[in-house]
Structure 1
Amino acid sequence: MNVASPSAITGKVAGQFFTPETVAKSLVKWVVRIPSDRLLDPSCGDGEILAHHDNCRGIERDPYSAWVARERLPLVPIDNVDFFTWVESTSERFECAAGNPPFIRYQNFKGLSKAAATSICQANGVTLSGLSSAWVPFLVATASLLHEGGRMAFVVPAEIGHAPYAVPLLDYLLENFSKVQVVAVKNKLFPRLSEDCWLLYCAGRHGKTDHIHFSHFDRFEGFSVPPDGEAHCWEDVKTKWRGRLRPLLLSREARAAYLAVAEDPRAYRFGAFAKIGIGYISGANDFFHLSPSQAAEHRIPAEFLAPTVRRGKFLTGDVIDDEKFAAWKAADEACTLLLIPPTKELPPAITRYLDSERGLEARRSYKCRIRPLWYSVPGVIRPDYFLQYMAGSEVRLARNDAAAACTNSIHAVQITDGQKAASALPQWTSALTKLSCELEGHPLGGGMLKLEPREASRLLFEPSFRPTELFREAIEVMRQWRHSDIRRPR
């Protein structure tokens, strides 16, 4: 169990959150066969999982949590060490393991711990992506400590159902266990955590299987044995869904109907007629984005100001035009970008603004410091369409009739095949394309849906397709699973 503590490592950064007792008991029941089975919890927190089996061993990096666990379970050996460096030197082996590994993002997963984790994964034939969270090597390292026939059960982030870096992990598990089961849970196991969590069970260490078992439930109420679920050929999942498990939340009929359209020669992927990328990165948004009153105050010439769309929330219709910009200007929104070509001679007003207090602060930011000319924002394009990067209920696409630019919080869409685009884009609001957004994108937490450029390029259009009730029901299912009904502050 990972418990939030007052230690120097905060719960959010360390990935520490309480494990519900019902979940802890279930995981132990899943993996322990007989009283003599030795159980490992590689990130034991305050010892909740260890408390449900007498013959156990705990590792916990956080000093406060380790102290709490020792006070609670004085007879249980609990080491306050980094798990990965401990794995590299230990000779201990276990019949089973259970736990809730820390969901440490790649930005905070670094140093000796990450080096040891990478080494362990490489030794086991798993290549970590640079974007991998710490829970992935936790599972690989734990598996390496199990006896033949060993079992393990873990709380895992729902990212296991969509993250590209989860695919090599699942490849490894299916190559090294005779049974692999994923249990998806809709209602949050951790109410304070925006991220959804699922459960993973693996049995028969040193075995092998070509099927992954998948089951899903609205809520987790405890199971004495892992729910078996439906068996899916892993190669089919990789071929049809790129190793994503989220589509398996849908009915067989909905999945089959979607795949049938995807294989129809009349269907297009977005990337077949458009190039999709992020907008520019200013490096200092408050400095480079000016409202009409700010531009007037600093006497910025109009030729150095470009209309821009800063955030996805501004995509309120299907067109961004001059009328919309006029409304934003009337509201004194910061809707213009200070765009200084690198070869342009600077007039006195621009020089004064660059040398102002705001300018002196902006030039110290990292992105500005590494540019040849700190004040010249690179990568500014005026795309054909704007596409929401993160969305609530529905992903919005807006035609750019104002010749505006956009920041990196919005996708810039440049049409590469006008004929295909003219045929496909009128279907943007179809049930098929809405469902495609749900299946090709991924939940971000807090009810949000995120579309990376590579995911957006896979969005599906079928010019002659008509919405069906089956797809509308499937859309609702996927939105419920990402909690799109959560009320977010405006």
Structure 2
Amino acid sequence: MQLINDTSAQKLRGAYYTPPAIADFILRWGINGCNDADILEPSCGDGVFLKCMYDGNILYHSITAIEYEMAEAEKAKAIPLHKSNVVNSDFHRFCLDTDKHFDLIVGNPPFIRYQYYNVEQQLLADEIFKKSKLKRTKLTNAWVTFVVGSCQLLKENGKLGFVLPSELLMVKYAQQLRKFLAQTFNRINIISFKNLVFEEIQQEVVLLLCEKNGTDEHFIEHIEVRDTNELLKLNPLRLRFPTKKIDFHTDKWTYYFLEKEELDLLERVKCKNMNTISTFANVEVGITTGANDYFTVPQSVVDLYQLQEYARPMVGRSVQVNSLCFSIKDWKQNIESGAKANLLVFTSDADINGNNGVKAYLENGVKEGINKGYKTSIRNQWWVIPSIKVSDALFLRRNNLYPKFVLNEAKAYTTDTMHRVFIHPGVNKKAFVASYYNSLSFAFAEILGRNFGGGCLELMPSEVGDIYLPYREENEQIFDTLDTMLRRKATTDEILDYTDDIILRQGMGFSPEEVALARSIWLKIIKRRLSRETLEKSVKEKNI
């Protein structure tokens, strides 16, 4: 691998070695009484899986292990396993050159970003993807390539057991991989952990256990255990019968954290004449200024440089939005508090026709190098921000308890910390925004979004558009009450107790039991997400 200055060699290799308990479990699942398997470990490191096989006296036909780092390969070779072949090579090259196929492939592939690949590795990775009719992008992490390549090396009824980052379940760059796995394997089990397994990198991982059996069935199951000790108590035979049919229209596997009863309710929602946000509105990213600290300013800066001609109302942070409706009054309160509540929308001739204060501010931007930023440097005039549009509503990109959806009554601009929602003509704007505040829509937001460090939930525009929304014009009637509740900081339970009854039970005809189940789905997923935040904090405090 290419080593980058100021980055540890371990991080560049993605080398965080598997706890023996996990390796042992994957092997027990994969072997499952077989004594003549041909086994591959595509990135064996110092030989954790090989050591487990030796210590457990596991029977097999042959073992092939690949390791890129020579020093680690030598450690693996020192493990006295018969019929084993440790190859000091790049798995990419091995995958493309070998004519061998395997009954079982196990391992913990490296977590390496695209930019740490050298040119040869990038070309080899592209070839691996092409063999499976997949496309690799610059966002694709090395572990994805290892999974795709390993699938190509499996026998007709082979098994694959990997330790992978939980990103597998949700990130966009792994979307085609999820579809590929769903189509390739007949049984998929995902095992996740409530506690972090790799504390040194605070990386949440899952075990991906896949099996081909030659049938037309495609089932998946998710099992969560507390830690490696609880994992070892899990009977691998339980994994032989996943119960949930794979939904090829669902592009994220967080969906399968839920039980069958919960999944059935969500399927009924999709069939209950309930539409998604994208039916009623277009969702776009907020304005990309290229330098928020320069283009978003408090009133004091506007006054100091006499920028009033170019200053526009804006809202850019979640703390500036504490209601269902962002009004002119709310914007003025942000101005008075000293918040950066102005967006500087300079015209192309501002450097010539602007007053002395405007010219001084633009000159300061050059002195500070604002004009040399990536986004600003590719513009015809670096100070002219593109895509200046005011949206009807705002949807926060990153959120804690739940994503905020706010009517933009103040006609304020927003940066890319929020998404812009342009509501279609004929849709009642107040009813549309109010309709979002219910347990089912909150649950879909959790399912569609991505956990983004510290327990934060992030949704991109397309994901916001896919949230199911029980829109009815009658929901306008609860807008003012809901706005008041949000302003007085009512608890989420208070809000949902009120809205679920009116929106879901009375408006959509859901039974009290279905409404309660919808709430439990949301609570189940959000508690899982926020428990990671608590765990991350405790790990950081321990490290301090």
- Is the CA contact (8 Å cut-off) linking 2:47 and 2:75 kept in structure 1? no
CA distance in 1, matches of 2:312, 2:328: 12
Structure 2 residue 279 is matched with structure 1 residue 272: yes
**Map of 1:211 onto structure 2:** 218
Structure 2 residue 340 is matched with structure 1 residue 328: no
SS in 2 for 1:199: strand
| CA spacing shift, 1:435–1:94, aligned 2, 3 Å | closer
CA distance in 1, matches of 2:157, 2:442: 44
Show structure 1 runs of 4+ deviating over 6 A.
Answer: none
> Which deviations, in whole Å up to 9, do the C-alpha atoms of 1:27-83 show, x marking residues without a partner?
12222355664432222233222221246443334x4xx524533652575455432
CA distance in 2, matches of 1:7, 1:305: 41
Q: Which runs of 5+ in 1 are unaligned?
A: 1-5
| CA spacing shift, 1:416–1:174, aligned 2, 3 Å | closer
Moved more, 471-480 or 114-123: 114-123
| CA spacing shift, 1:7–1:179, aligned 2, 3 Å | farther
Moved more, 439-448 or 22-31: 439-448
- Is the CA contact (8 Å cut-off) linking 2:129 and 2:148 kept in structure 1? yes
CA distance in 2, matches of 1:475, 1:382: 31
> Which deviations, in whole Å up to 9, do the C-alpha atoms of 1:396-415 show, x marking residues without a partner?
11222322111112111111
Q: CA deviation at 1:204?
A: 4.2
- Is the CA contact (8 Å cut-off) linking 2:405 and 2:433 kept in structure 1? no
- Is the CA contact (8 Å cut-off) linking 2:394 and 2:420 kept in structure 1? yes
CA distance in 1, matches of 2:389, 2:531: 32
Structure 2 residue 376 is matched with structure 1 residue 368: yes
SS in 2 for 1:86: helix
CA distance in 1, matches of 2:436, 2:316: 22
SS in 1 for 2:314: strand
Q: 2:65 aligns with which of 53, 58, 70?
A: 58
CA distance in 2, matches of 1:430, 1:174: 31
SS in 2 for 1:125: coil
Matching residue's letter, 2:46: D
**Map of 1:70 onto structure 2:** 74
Matching residue's letter, 1:231: T
SS in 2 for 1:316: coil
Q: 1:146 aligns with which of 142, 151, 154?
A: 154
Structure 2 residue 25 is matched with structure 1 residue 17: no
Q: CA deviation at 1:477?
A: 0.9
| CA spacing shift, 1:276–1:175, aligned 2, 3 Å | closer
TM-score (norm 1): 0.86
| CA spacing shift, 1:16–1:396, aligned 2, 3 Å | farther
Q: Which runs of 5+ in 2 are unaligned?
A: 55-61, 473-502, 506-511, 538-544
Q: CA deviation at 1:114?
A: 2.8
> Which deviations, in whole Å up to 9, do the C-alpha atoms of 1:139-195 show, x marking residues without a partner?
121122334443220012223333455454344445544543333444433334454
- Is the CA contact (8 Å cut-off) linking 1:448 and 1:484 kept in structure 2? no
Moved more, 7-16 or 45-54: 7-16
- Is the CA contact (8 Å cut-off) linking 2:327 and 2:410 kept in structure 1? yes
CA distance in 1, matches of 2:10, 2:451: 22
Q: 2:297 aligns with which of 278, 287, 290?
A: 290
| CA spacing shift, 1:357–1:177, aligned 2, 3 Å | closer
CA distance in 1, matches of 2:385, 2:157: 58
**Map of 2:423 onto structure 1:** 415
Q: 2:414 aligns with which of 385, 397, 406?
A: 406
- Is the CA contact (8 Å cut-off) linking 1:121 and 1:127 kept in structure 2? yes
Q: CA deviation at 1:361?
A: 0.7
Structure 2 residue 386 is matched with structure 1 residue 381: no
CA distance in 1, matches of 2:287, 2:10: 33
- Is the CA contact (8 Å cut-off) linking 2:189 and 2:242 kept in structure 1? no
**Map of 1:27 onto structure 2:** 26
Matching residue's letter, 2:129: C
Structure 2 residue 344 is matched with structure 1 residue 338: yes
- Is the CA contact (8 Å cut-off) linking 2:365 and 2:371 kept in structure 1? no
- Is the CA contact (8 Å cut-off) linking 1:353 and 1:359 kept in structure 2? no
| CA spacing shift, 1:308–1:367, aligned 2, 3 Å | same
Structure 2 residue 121 is matched with structure 1 residue 113: yes
- Is the CA contact (8 Å cut-off) linking 1:182 and 1:199 kept in structure 2? yes
Larger % of helix: which?
Answer: 2
Structure 2 residue 524 is matched with structure 1 residue 477: yes
**Map of 1:392 onto structure 2:** 400
Map 1:86-125; keep pairs closer than 5 Å. Answer: 86-106=94-114, 111-125=119-133
CA distance in 1, matches of 2:466, 2:224: 28
Moved more, 444-453 or 82-91: 82-91
Moved more, 452-461 or 320-329: 320-329
How many residue pairs are counted as aligned between the two chains? 475
Q: CA deviation at 1:348?
A: 2.6
CA distance in 2, matches of 1:146, 1:317: 55
- Is the CA contact (8 Å cut-off) linking 1:26 and 1:224 kept in structure 2? no
Map 1:75-86; keep pairs closer than 5 Å. Answer: 75=79, 78-86=86-94
Structure 2 residue 201 is matched with structure 1 residue 202: no
Matching residue's letter, 1:465: L
CA distance in 2, matches of 1:403, 1:144: 54
> Which deviations, in whole Å up to 9, do the C-alpha atoms of 1:404-443 show, x marking residues without a partner?
1111121111111343544432222211221121122232
SS in 2 for 1:58: strand
| CA spacing shift, 1:11–1:395, aligned 2, 3 Å | farther
CA distance in 1, matches of 2:71, 2:321: 51
SS in 2 for 1:275: strand
Map 1:442-453; keep pairs closer than 5 Å. Answer: 442-453=450-461
Q: CA deviation at 1:275?
A: 1.3
| CA spacing shift, 1:90–1:479, aligned 2, 3 Å | same
- Is the CA contact (8 Å cut-off) linking 1:51 and 1:73 kept in structure 2? no
Moved more, 249-258 or 401-410: 249-258
Could you say what the CA RMSD is over the residues aligned between the two structures, in angstroms? Answer: 3.1
Matching residue's letter, 2:151: A
- Is the CA contact (8 Å cut-off) linking 2:67 and 2:90 kept in structure 1? yes
Structure 2 residue 241 is matched with structure 1 residue 233: no
Structure 2 residue 169 is matched with structure 1 residue 169: no
CA distance in 2, matches of 1:204, 1:263: 31
- Is the CA contact (8 Å cut-off) linking 1:254 and 1:474 kept in structure 2? yes
| CA spacing shift, 1:471–1:415, aligned 2, 3 Å | same
- Is the CA contact (8 Å cut-off) linking 1:342 and 1:373 kept in structure 2? yes
SS in 2 for 1:414: strand
CA distance in 1, matches of 2:261, 2:463: 23
CA distance in 2, matches of 1:294, 1:370: 26
**Map of 1:3 onto structure 2:** none
- Is the CA contact (8 Å cut-off) linking 2:294 and 2:365 kept in structure 1? no
CA distance in 2, matches of 1:109, 1:310: 36
SS in 2 for 1:355: helix
CA distance in 2, matches of 1:356, 1:291: 17
Identical residues among aligned pairs (%): 24
